[in-house]
Amino acid sequence: MEELLYTAEPTKSYSTLIALIGILIGLIVFVFLVETKKIKGITGTYRQIATLLGGLVALILFATTLFTTWNLHTIQPVKLYETYMESFHGKTPYKEIQRAGIYNDKQQSFINAQVTIREDNLLAVEKRDKKVMLFAEENYDLKGLIQVIRKQMEKK
């Protein structure tokens, strides 16, 4: 069995998911109260509009909650062993890695190209079959991860 060298645990934040679930439940309760005529101030056409808009927003919130849950489930720990690395991309031997480095992605303003709106650091691991694995700085400690990957690549 291979010796585990390093494990990069992802930093997951469930606060967005909890807020989405709370808002979704509140909106469903609101639509239910409007539809059962428990809120006396909303009558006639306004009740129908409130029900339709509330249902549409609830559907959008439900889809957003599902995608947020899927995203949090997809982010798994990266485990580095003696001869291969294991991530949500699968097992990749170090001899199949062509290059690995930290890429700085800057989003420039459309109006003024000298203004940077957003800046992200990504770990890009390029395999010999031209596939690329990307790991975001917001989820992993990229500096520790790249050090171990490069050290293991030099051994092979």
By three-state DSSP, how is residue 54 classified? helix
Contacts of 53 (CB under 8 A, 6+ apart): none
Q: Is the pLDDT of residue 156 over 70?
A: no
Strand partners, 102: 123
Q: Is the pLDDT of residue 145 over 70?
A: yes
* Segment 32-78, tens digit of pLDDT: 999 999 988 888 899 999 999 999 999 999 999 999 999 888 889 99
Tokens of 2: 């291979």
Q: Is the pLDDT of residue 1 over 70?
A: no
Residue 12 one-letter amino acid:
K
